Amino acid sequence: MLSLSDVHVNYGHVNALKGISLQVDDGKIVSLLGANGAGKTTTLKMISRLVKPKKGAYEMDGKSMIKEAPSSIVKKGVIHCPENRRVFPLFSVEENLIIGAYNKRNKSVKQEMEKVFSYFPILKDRLKQKAGTLSGGEQQMLAIGRALMGKPNILLLDEPSLGLAPKIVNEIFSIIKEINKSGTSILIVEQNAYKAIEISDYSYVLENGTIALQGTSEELKNNDEVRRLYLGG
Ligand SMILES: Nc1ncnc2c1ncn2[C@@H]1O[C@H](COP(=O)(O)OP(=O)(O)OP(=O)(O)O)[C@@H](O)[C@H]1O
Ligand SMILES: [Mg+2]
């Protein structure tokens, strides 16, 4: 179980997070929703220890992570799939996947790669192709596949649906559900609130660096404010 409590993050004079608390229970899908600039990416970066909190608590299974290095967060199985896909464009699909397993022993790499192909068969067909020449949807699949190569206990996904056609978005969301069913907890950042709420057990809505609303999917779908602001009425 991962938990944040009263976390504050500043970038110089910008207070990006102003005391947020959230929890990702084992085996669950939790979504983090909100408008541009609300602090969603900052929250994931804080969890990966890419930005330092000014104040607050961060625990995994009851142990404080606040002083851990990014590499030890990865070793604990928290794997970050960043915003805008960020695959290595000049490396092949295969090389990108191997990079995702850098913290693992060689012998499991082939096995993990086969698991990735079971979710994303297209990546097997494109194995030797340079990642920069893949379509947007394929690059997103590769970015998720690369994160899976690190054998996540908790997968942090930053806007996996951004800029993709509805058909691909549906495909990616249903694979996210499958990944979760195989035992990986997921914290997903999305602007596509409707889709995210559909697959999540619990959601948080960030506004201006604070948690404005939270609840189960049922609660949020029935909340007038959420419907008006995020679900199109
Ligand atoms: N490196 C930085 N330096 C200064 N300000 C930053 C930095 N990164 C983010 N910010 C600011 O912090 C706030 C939160 O940014 P963040 O990227 O977390 O938002 P977000 O919710 O992910 O937005 P989006 O939906 O557009 O990706 C914004 O006001 C942003 O301008
Ligand atoms: Mg963001």
16-74: pLDDT as tens digits: 999 999 999 999 999 999 989 999 999 999 999 999 999 999 999 999 999 999 999 99
- Ligand 1 within 6 A of 39 CB? yes
Nearest ligand 1 atom to the CA of 206 is 21
The pLDDT of residue 131: 97
pLDDT band at 81 (very low <50, low <70, confident <90, very high): very high
pLDDT beyond 70 at 105: no
Distance from Cα 16 to the centre of ligand 1, integer Å: 7
The b/e string for 63-101 (b: 16+ C-beta within 10 A; e otherwise) is eebeebeeeebbebbbbbbbbebebeeeebbbbbbbebb
For residue 182, the CA-to-ligand 1 centroid distance in Å is: 32
**Which residue's alpha carbon is nearest to atom 16 within ligand 1?**
39
Q: How many residues does the chain have?
A: 233
Tell me the pLDDT band of 143, cut-offs 50, 70 and 90.
Answer: very high
Cα–Cα dist 195/229, whole Å? 14
Share of the chain above pLDDT 70, in %: 97
Domain boundaries 1-77+155-160+186-233, corresponding CATH code: 3.40.50.300
The 10s digit of each residue's pLDDT in 200-213 is: 999 999 999 999 99
- What average pLDDT does the chain have? 93
Average pLDDT on 155-165 reads 93
Which atom in ligand 1 lies closest to the alpha carbon of residue 83? Answer: 27
Q: How confident is the model at residue 223 (pLDDT cuts 50, 70, 90)?
A: confident
Q: What pLDDT sits at residue 115?
A: 94
pLDDT: which is higher, 94 or 222 = 94
Tell me how far the alpha carbon of residue 178 lies from the centroid of ligand 2, in angstroms: 24
The rounded Cα 112 to chain-centroid distance in angstroms is 19
User: Which atom of ligand 1 lies at the shortest distance from residue 209's CA?
Assistant: 14
Regarding the beta carbon of 145 and ligand 1, being less than 6 Å apart is answered no
The span from the first CA to the last CA of the chain, in angstroms, equals 34
For the chain, residues classed under CATH 3.40.50.300 are 1-77+155-160+186-233
Band of residue 104 on the pLDDT scale cut at 50, 70, 90: low
What are 133's two structure tokens? 């020449």
Distance 202 CA to ligand 1 centre (A): 23
Q: Is the pLDDT of residue 15 over 80?
A: yes
Phi first, then psi, for residue 6 (nearest 5°) are 50, 50
Ligand nearest to C-alpha 83: 2
Q: How far is the CA of 125 from the centre of ligand 2 (A)?
A: 31
Is a pLDDT exceeding 90 seen at residue 229? no
- Give yes or no for residue 191 having a pLDDT over 90: no
